[in-house]
Each structure stands twice: as structure tokens, then as C-alpha cells.
Structure 1
């Protein structure tokens, strides 16, 4: 609520008096820098406005309002005197408007946020159908993090880009993408109290790192600033990669340094792979390393003691920091959109969406297990059993006030057990295409026998590695199957499209996103667990930890230790799932690897970003079991194969958005 101006006795303040409060509020909390001229202007205003109460809570709220307005108007991170005067005029103008409303409505107290919410609710009638959308990368507005303003710039897409980018564009975009990710994570760390300047503590000890997975109360040092400080201890942040000699190096925005990992300890709650951004703690040595002969290298080596991932941030905190940006482009009819200006969602409007969401307790989404091979008789048999059960449940629910008919069925590929490969002869090529199309025709015939499912549920198709057209050159290999992957061409699903009501067939990309009122749901198909395990950083200390000292104890000591550990026992499956989830959300992307491990179409790299974190991520990793893990408020679930090898069990998942609840289901056939 904006502080009301009250008559007070003005005083004469000096900028030096106000500077500590301004630094804590504007600089440390909001990342804004004020020059001396603007500080002098602000000092005069605070002295006139608050007088002897210039240290009061109301004065600090006034500074918060300045920061809020400055960010909303995208004025950058440097506050000048002219811009400050304009912002303060806007604040005064809004205060006057509120005071006039209070004067005419003395029986009711209304603040500025309530006025916004009332006007929005009066002007826009909210229909939940308008906020239930499937958004593929080619429909998602491109967004870029501006490191200068420390804000996202979201622009409207004026035309669809080609699926395959040119090599020259990808080379340039590759550098920009990593730089963008680096500065975005650095901005996140700047808001984390564990990485603020502290004059009372030094580099944290190992126990703090091992316990919480972060290094507490440390200031991150740039690599260039270590020069001339031989033998001192530092905390660095940067990109983990390898140089031409095969040695691990760490790169930040200023330089790179060779890493010595012989004595390093890593937090065991996450994966660490080349291509990821990490925090390393250790000692700088000017004489170490194997690359001192390079003229463009600052020299030396960094002897690492501890390694950790940059901790993720809760979704609400990130959105608040970036001004509730509309990343999916579904709120443009609420907020006027001019050119490429970023649309920001009014806070009270967001609260209204949450209220409607909670009232729709009968809504649910169904996600079928991955690898739905339509050319497999067992998969078709399992699908028939599932659709039969769903058809009966819809018939039973007809006429009921609490019908639980699913809004959508999400099917994840690949929809063929073999890739659609190109061939030297046109006859073979036509045959391969006809076989793939016949698989979908078979599914269409099956679905047509369940009319209630056809007319009530949206059918969403998420492609896999064997689906066209990428499989024609990737041959089903994840490495050569570029992300994001375009949807299945309509030529293969024309019969299915005719069967379903108009608009009920969604040909999604991989990944794709669902906007359900206030929630953002990401659906992604990839064998992430195998890739993390294969490329995880292996340190000498890890080999020692594989030896359990309990095995060398006597019987009595071993029994005592097992009793003490009984409450600490966590299955290896859960440990692996937690490591995967933490690695993804800490890195803020669905592909935190080197580009050589997976081809990325960098024209759409923003669609792989999961920062701010979504509400839900649904992974379709057929190489791992089902799991549900919540980290920093984000629910991440994995849905394995629809029908496992040699099994007669059909796997699927039900999600109830109103309760944010998942239920894994099995259907034997």
C-alpha cells in the first residue's frame, strides 16, 4: 500500500545520512545503483516528506515504491536524478488519486492493489477455457534476459521461424545462450542471502556445504580478481568445461582458470556435468596448472575443495523479482500490448485466477506413459483396456454435478518402435511413410469405438525420437535428434483430425507447456537419467565413498549402526530422482549439458529454460521408474513406459490441478 503523505516538520538531511538505508533497500535488495546527484535529490525529498521520521518504516516503504516503479518502467539498474523525479511524480500522482477515492468513500478503505483488481475484474470476464492452453515453442513468445536491466524482455513473435537454423546463426546463438544463462543465474544468486557480502564470516566450512548443498555466507569472486592474490581462498562461479588439453576449467564473464580436482568434495545431492554452471570453493595458486605457457591465460590453477550447484529459487520469488512477466503470452487481452513491450500480469488478477482454479475441483488431466508404439500389439491392447475404462467412467459421470471427465489425454511418443528412416529409393521411402501413417490409422480406428472419449477429451500428441521428420536423419538417436522437436506432420494424422471435434487434436512439440489458469506445466520427453549418469563428474573421493565402513565392522557394531541408520535410509531410486530434479532446477534449463551431447536449435532455446521454475514438470523418461519429487515448490514427476518389456500393465498418470495432486495408476490387461 502506498504511504499517505501527512503534514510533518521537514528537516535538512545529508546524503551521507541516507546512503546506508538506500544501499540496503535499493542496491542490495533490488539490484539498483543510484548516483550521487540522484541521492542528493532523494535526500531532500525524504527530509521534506518524513522529517525526523526519515528512518521509519514508512520511509523504507517509500524507497520500496521507488524501486517497484523503476523496475516496472524498465528504466535499467542505474538511477539518475531526472528519472528519479519522474518516478516520484508518478508515486505522488497515484497517492493523490487514492486519497481522493478515500475522501469520496470514507466508509471503505481501499488500497491501490484493490483498485487495480476491481477495475480488472469489472472490465474482463474470466473464463477458465481462455486460460487452458497448450503452448509449443513456435507459439511461445521469445524471451531474453537483459543483464543490464536485470529484467526479461518478452517480445511477440511476428512470424514462425524455420525449424532448422543455419550453422552461422547457431554458432552465434550458442555463445549468447550460455552468456544469457550465466547472467540469469548470477542474478538469482545476487538475491540469495547466502551469497551476500559479509564482514563477519569468511569462506564456510565443509560441514555447511555437505549439509545444505550450498556454501553459506560467501561473496562470489570473479576469476580476474584473483590475480596477484596467491594462496588465498575464494568462492568462484562459472561454466564447467574442458580445455584443448582435456583439463577441467571454470569460465566466467572475465576469464577462465584451470581446476585441480584431486582433493575436491562434491555435494552428493546433485549431478555435475561439463556444460553446467557450478560453484567451487578452494585456493588459488599462481604457479600451478598446465596452461601457464599460454599468453592469453592469466596463469595459475585453482585447487578445489568443495563443489556445489547454484541453489534454485522458488517460482513466486523469481516472478516477483521480474515483475510477474507473462512468459507464455496468454494475458495480452488483460494488459494492453504495445509493440515489443513486455506484458506483466497484475498481481490481483493472478490471485483471481488462483481462486477460480481452486473452485474447479472436478478438473483433471491424464498423461499416458511414454513410448506408445502403435505398431506394438501389446500397447494397442493396453490402450484398448484404458479407453474402455475411461469410456465407462464418462458414461457413469454423465449428468452428475461433479463429473471427473479429463480435460485432455496427453500421449507421449515415439509412436513407432522404428524410426522413419530415409532411403535411396522412392519406393522404400513411400513404404516407410505409409507404415507410419497406418499406425496412426490403427489408433484412430481404436479411438473411434469410444465416442464419449472422442467428443469430450482433447488428444495431445508429444513426439519422440522415432517420429518424423527428425528421425529421417537421426535414426532414433537422442544425440542427433535436435531440441525442441517439431510436432508430427498433419499428413500422418489427417484421419485422426477428422474423427475429433475441431480444435480437440493438439499436435504439440517436445517440449511443450500447458497454461492452466495460474499454473505452468512443462511436458518433456528425453532420457535424462542415463545422460546424467554417463556424464556425471567422477572424483577420487567418490570412489572412496563407495566403500561402506559398516561392512568392515564386527557383528555387534554393524547391528548398532544399522539401527541408528534405519530412519535415514532412502532408496537409491529416490536418491537418483532427487539428484536429477535438483540438477535441472538449479541449472534452470532442461538441457544442462555441453552442446556436443544433444543438438539444440538455439532459435528456440528459451523454450528449454525453466527459470522462473514452472509449477509442474512432467518428464517422460522411459529409462527410469516413476517418481514424484518436490524441490523449491516445483513438483517434478517422471512417467516411464506405458507398457514395460514383458509386462501386462498399462501405466498412466492423473493430475488434479485444483489440489496440485498426482496419482500414478496401473491397469492390468
Structure 2
């Protein structure tokens, strides 16, 4: 806060034209806010009276900064009008008076505090009076309920708006037309991802312009292979600089000749990977955004005949992913936006304005975290995927699991409350496919419905589970209606996958209390107080393994140096490496997690690997990174990996073929810990 207690400057009469340059530099150029003439007049009068002859001092700039921060936190838009400005000024004046009175009562001559504290206090005036109920902040949010968020590359902020449900219902455009038709939307989606990652890199100290003090410490790679201390160069700027070394960033793909190219917002360039060393801690596939370090040569390459191409060849020495960013840092950079739109349903005073979603102050978030830590009796249970209700073994396993859960609820007497059971499909062993005769179609539908009726009958034997837990159903490849076209093939499904139609689960819905059956999409999100939990089902590991690029130098790196040793020398070398040994499964898991978090999306591939409905592409974005990602990848084992503060777990198949072991896990939100469990049946 600005210290105005000792100011002695006499008020003066300023004209709006005097103040306009200062306002433009601070509010418009720096914060992207536009001040109309009436608001400028109000601001001129206030600053004339408040600062007088010192109106050109640093205090005026700090005062304008406070106005900008409060205006943005209250989500009043990009246009500052007179009425809104007067309300903000009134808040600032009230806080200054309160701080001055408090300082006088305590006999202290210190400053009232930082401007950040003032902003949080201003926003928290009404929020302090609200009693937080954890039930209001425990929501399962599917893509059709999630606010639409698009990155504005000009303002460097997210534009987040609530979904218009009426408009969505009126949208009768066929699904296949939406998936295949909009080329412009496809290009724009990749452009937004490029600019979002570039904005992330602009906050990373390793990719800033070099200062004189850091030149002596310049190195290409850190110990773990990450690129360090380099300024990113646009591809268009390498033209005419033959033989020089650069760091480039862009989309890795192939041209029509099958050559690797890198493309950014200015141009593209052909790549030569003959001597390239890649960071071994991640996967690399076409369709990803990568950092490449190397030397530009004006000659060479197979694309020099193209007049629209800058020419030359880029000899890559190192390649790496753009490093991910911790959730708190990203949220702070983007103004603590409520990306899931949960707070608008809770009575929070600044939850939304019209169709726009507001930002959540840091003090309010702290209250959510404090409550979160205090609720040590809460847990969420995730069952392994491929819960085929038409399988006798699966139903036997579920019966024993539900019995154990029922007994634990009774014996614990509320000390440990399971908030939700998350069940992930496919819920049938065969896809619900269209066939040639109408009679068969009916029988297929009835067969699928009977599976859920059978599960409802089983669940009815456990009243404590019914009254306590939400039942969340996440669809799989064999579930309707995508399976009618894909025949259960994951390659032919599209993301996001809509929920299971209610017509198949009406008996289950009648059994459970109102609101306790959640028909979720794939992917879907759970909001628990301050935490965002992403649930996603896909065979990601197989995709990464199949599409990982093998560079010429990789063959050398894969060779084991001990293979050429013999006798005692080889034994000694193996003993020395014992402590450094890490299982190949864990290495693969770490590589997968680093790839998706660095790319900031659950599908960092070319569009031919998976069709994405572009009107919901934001639901696949994981930037800012969530607190937890739960993968349901049946092509891989259970694992738990933490990267940049994001905890990622994989829960494999519920019941493996030939096994009598039921696979599930429990999550304790208060401590953010997972416990993998097995139940023999």
C-alpha cells in the first residue's frame, strides 16, 4: 500500500491530457486495460487531490498498479469505466483509512504493508463472512460442464467463459461433421498451444537473454540433459547467419518428402538428426513442441527448391521438451482464474460476471487448503478399469470389495468417509455395436442394460455404501455410443468421449440418493476444495512406444558398455552400477509423465493418432498442471510419479486374465497420498 500519511504536497489542478501518457504506460500497455474518457477524468481528479505536485512520483505509479490489480481480481473486464473505477477507489480509500487508524492506535510509524496485501484484503471483505462448506467444493466436472478456456496470445491471459447450455442443446451439427470439417479450428488449436508454451518459456530463467555475468557459466546441457541458459531464436532470424549456433522452438513434424521439420510462428526449417542427442528422460513424437539446439547451414537440405522456404538445413545437436511449470506459478501468472467454474455455485461474491468466470483470491484459496488439511477422514477410491459387468470374475471381485467397504464404513463409524467410488469402463467385454438386424440391435442394447441392472442388484445389498459414496462412471472403448462406430477400437474413438446414456442406468439411478450417480465423460475432472484431479482413460504408453522417434545416436546410447567387458572387470562394473539401477518400468513411467506435462496436453500427438472434437479441445489441456492425474492405462502396470509438483498415478486393469486379484487404490486428499491395494477373491 502507498504510504500517504506523511505526504505534504498541496493539491493541484491537472488536465486529463497531462495524465494520459502515465495511465497508458501503466494500465493499458502493461495490464491491457482501456480507460475511457469519463474514467480518465475521475482518475485525474483523484490523483490531483491525492498527490498534488508529486503526481509524477513513483507513488502515482504504485497507485495505478493497485487499481489494475483490484480491477483484474474483480474480473471487471478490459474496459475501465467511471462507475467501476469509483467503486475501486472507494475500496482503496477505506483500506487506507483503516490502516492509518490501526497504525495510530498501535503507535507505530511503519508502512501499512505491501500493495499485494491490500489487493487481497479488498477482495476478501465479503469473502471473510462466507462459511465454506466442503460439499460445495467437491464436484465431478465433465467437459460439457467445464468452462471454455482459450489462451489469448495478445493479452497473455486466458479467456474463460461459462458454457451456454441452451446453445449446446440447440447444436444439431452431426458429430462426424464437427470432427472432420473445421480445418481452421485445427490450425488455431495448435497455434494456441504454441503460444501458451512460449508464454511459459518466457517465465523460465533458463531461456532469457544472456547477461554479462552469465556468459562465463553458459552450458548447453545440465547434468540430466536439460537445455540451459539459451535464448530462443525465431526461425526467420537464422537466415543469412550461416554456421552459427541457435536454440529453436517449434512444432516437430514431417513434410511431404518425409523429412523432419521444425515450424514456429514465423517459418519452418528442415532438420538433420544424424548427430542429435536427445534427452533420454522423455519420449519424442511428431506433433510435439520441442527445443532443438544446433548449427544452421545455408546449404543442404531437400527443400531448397521451394521458393516459400528460407532454405538451408539445421544440424541438431540436442533436442529436449519445453520444461513444465509448477501449478502455483502458472495460476499466479494467469491471475488465479477459476478454470473449473466451481466457485460460481457457492455464493462467492466475485464468482462470475455474466458469462465470465472470476478469479479466486489467494486468501480464499488458503482457506480452502486449510479446510482440506483438516478433513483427514475423507478418501476417494479408484477401481481398476475394464470393469466388465458381464464377467463372472469381475462381479465376484466387486461383491467381495463392496462387502469389505460396507464393513469398514460400519466399523469406522464415520472416522474414514469414502466420498466417491470411481468406476472406469469398458463396462462390457464386447462393444455395443450396430448389426444388420433390428432384433439383434435390441438384444445388444438389452444385454448392455442388463449388465448395469445386475450391478444395481449387487449394490443394493450394501446400504452404507449407497448412502455414503457417489458412484462415478467413466466410459471406455466398448461403451456407447462411440463403440457403435469403432467396434471397441481405441484408435477409432474420439476425445472427449461422452458419458453413458441414462437409458441404460435408470435402475442404478433410482437406487442411489439424488445426485449420487455421476455419469462422467472421458476425460473428466474432480474438484476437491483447492485440488484439481484429472481422470483419463487411454493406452498412452503404447502410443508413446510406437511413435517414439529413434535417432541414429540412440543405437549407441542403448549399448551396454559392460557387454564388451569380461570376467572380474564386468562383475565389478555391475556391482558399482547396482545402486544406480532403476527398473525399466519406472523409467518408462517417468518418460511418459514428463512428455505429457511438458507438452501441457493429454494428447501430444498428430491428429491422425486420435480424433479430437475441437469444440472441447480445452478439456485435454493440462496447463496449468492439475494437482493429480489418474491414468487408466491397461497397457501398463500401476505406478506413481511426481513431476513439477503434479502427482500422476496409473491404475491398471481391475482383474487381470488368469488372476484372482482385484486391483484398486485409495486417495487421501488431506495428505495427497495414494495407497495401491489388492484384494484376493
Q: Per the shorter chain, which TM-score range?
A: 0.7 to 0.9
560, 570, 578: which is aligned to 1:558?
Answer: 570
Matched ranges for 1:135-214 at <5 A = 135-159=141-165, 160=168, 164=175, 166-167=178-179, 169-200=181-212, 209=221, 211-214=223-226
Q: Give the structure 2 partner of residue 101 of structure 1.
A: 98
- Structure 2 vs 1, CA of residues 425 and 189 (structure 1 numbering), >3 Å: closer, same or farther? same
Q: Give the structure 1 partner of residue 301 of structure 2.
A: 289
Matched ranges for 1:42-57 at <5 A = 48=54
Q: Give the structure 2 partner of residue 120 of structure 1.
A: 126
- CA deviations on 1:133-155 (whole Å, 9 max, x unpaired) are 00000000111000000000001
Is 2:398 the counterpart of 1:386?
A: no
- Structure 2 vs 1, CA of residues 664 and 255 (structure 1 numbering), >3 Å: closer, same or farther? same
Q: Give the structure 1 partner of residue 499 of structure 2.
A: 487
- Structure 2 vs 1, CA of residues 59 and 540 (structure 1 numbering), >3 Å: closer, same or farther? farther
Q: Which is further off, 442-451 or 650-659?
A: 442-451
Alpha-carbon separation, structure 1, partners of 2:205 and 2:26: 15
Q: Give the structure 2 partner of residue 15 of structure 1.
A: none
Q: Give the structure 2 partner of residue 507 of structure 1.
A: 519
Alpha-carbon separation, structure 1, partners of 2:551 and 2:53: 59
Q: Give the structure 2 partner of residue 317 of structure 1.
A: 329
Alpha-carbon separation, structure 2, partners of 1:236 and 1:86: 47
Q: Give the structure 2 partner of residue 468 of structure 1.
A: 480
Q: Give the structure 2 partner of residue 5 of structure 1.
A: 4
- CA deviations on 1:185-228 (whole Å, 9 max, x unpaired) are 0000000000001143569977x525244311111111111111
Query: What SS is found at the alignment partner of 2:315?
Result: strand
563, 580, 586: which is aligned to 1:568?
Answer: 580
CA contact (8 A) 1:204 1:216 kept: no
Alpha-carbon separation, structure 2, partners of 1:437 and 1:213: 53
Structure 2 unpaired stretches of 5+ = 10-21, 35-39, 107-111
CA contact (8 A) 2:385 2:651 kept: yes
Is 2:360 the counterpart of 1:345?
A: yes
Q: Give the structure 2 partner of residue 373 of structure 1.
A: 388
496, 502, 509: which is aligned to 2:508?
Answer: 496
Q: Give the TM-score of the pair, scaled to structure 1.
A: 0.88
CA contact (8 A) 1:69 1:87 kept: no
214, 238, 249: which is aligned to 2:261?
Answer: 249
- CA deviations on 1:479-506 (whole Å, 9 max, x unpaired) are 1100000000111111111111111100
Query: What SS is found at the alignment partner of 2:261?
Result: strand
Q: Give the structure 2 partner of residue 433 of structure 1.
A: 445
Alpha-carbon separation, structure 1, partners of 2:158 and 2:420: 31
Structure 1 unpaired stretches of 5+ = 11-21
- CA deviations on 1:369-396 (whole Å, 9 max, x unpaired) are 0111111111111111100100111111
What is the CA-CA distance between 1:158 and the residue it aligns to? 1.2
Query: What SS is found at the alignment partner of 1:258?
Result: strand
- Structure 2 vs 1, CA of residues 549 and 67 (structure 1 numbering), >3 Å: closer, same or farther? farther
Query: What SS is found at the alignment partner of 2:615?
Result: helix
Q: Give the structure 2 partner of residue 240 of structure 1.
A: 252
243, 250, 257: which is aligned to 1:231?
Answer: 243
Alpha-carbon separation, structure 2, partners of 1:120 and 1:461: 37
Is 2:615 the counterpart of 1:603?
A: yes
CA contact (8 A) 2:92 2:122 kept: no
Q: Which is further off, 195-204 or 641-650?
A: 195-204
Query: What SS is found at the alignment partner of 1:143?
Result: strand
What is the CA-CA distance between 1:430 and the residue it aligns to? 1.1
Query: What SS is found at the alignment partner of 1:214?
Result: coil
Q: Give the structure 2 partner of residue 362 of structure 1.
A: 377
What is the CA-CA distance between 1:245 and the residue it aligns to? 0.7
Matched ranges for 1:418-429 at <5 A = 418-429=430-441
Q: Give the structure 1 partner of residue 629 of structure 2.
A: 617
Is 2:415 the counterpart of 1:403?
A: yes
Query: Over the residues paired in the alignment, what is the CA RMSD in angstroms?
Result: 3.3
Alpha-carbon separation, structure 1, partners of 2:73 and 2:572: 60
- Structure 2 vs 1, CA of residues 196 and 289 (structure 1 numbering), >3 Å: closer, same or farther? same
Alpha-carbon separation, structure 2, partners of 1:264 and 1:656: 44
CA contact (8 A) 1:170 1:601 kept: no
Alpha-carbon separation, structure 2, partners of 1:295 and 1:405: 67
CA contact (8 A) 1:455 1:500 kept: yes
What is the CA-CA distance between 1:452 and the residue it aligns to? 1.4
Q: Give the structure 2 partner of residue 304 of structure 1.
A: 316
116, 129, 140: which is aligned to 2:135?
Answer: 129
Q: Which is further off, 566-575 or 163-172?
A: 163-172
What is the CA-CA distance between 1:287 and the residue it aligns to? 1.2
Is 2:580 the counterpart of 1:580?
A: no
Alpha-carbon separation, structure 2, partners of 1:279 and 1:31: 29
How many residue pairs match? The answer is: 635
What is the CA-CA distance between 1:567 and the residue it aligns to? 2.4
Q: Give the structure 1 partner of residue 12 of structure 2.
A: none
Alpha-carbon separation, structure 1, partners of 2:26 and 2:215: 25
CA contact (8 A) 2:5 2:100 kept: no
Query: What SS is found at the alignment partner of 1:149?
Result: coil
Query: What SS is found at the alignment partner of 1:407?
Result: strand
Alpha-carbon separation, structure 2, partners of 1:32 and 1:279: 30
- Structure 2 vs 1, CA of residues 366 and 245 (structure 1 numbering), >3 Å: closer, same or farther? same
- CA deviations on 1:333-385 (whole Å, 9 max, x unpaired) are 31152234341112111111111111111000000001111111111111111
Alpha-carbon separation, structure 2, partners of 1:84 and 1:338: 15
327, 331, 340: which is aligned to 2:339?
Answer: 327
CA contact (8 A) 1:8 1:49 kept: no
Query: What SS is found at the alignment partner of 1:211?
Result: coil
What is the CA-CA distance between 1:5 and the residue it aligns to? 3.1
CA contact (8 A) 2:499 2:520 kept: yes
Alpha-carbon separation, structure 2, partners of 1:193 and 1:75: 32
Matched ranges for 1:244-283 at <5 A = 244-283=256-295
Alpha-carbon separation, structure 1, partners of 2:368 and 2:351: 19
Alpha-carbon separation, structure 2, partners of 1:153 and 1:340: 11
Q: Give the TM-score of the pair, scaled to structure 2.
A: 0.86
Query: What SS is found at the alignment partner of 1:166?
Result: helix
What is the CA-CA distance between 1:65 and the residue it aligns to? 4.7
CA contact (8 A) 2:381 2:664 kept: yes
What is the CA-CA distance between 1:9 and the residue it aligns to? 9.2
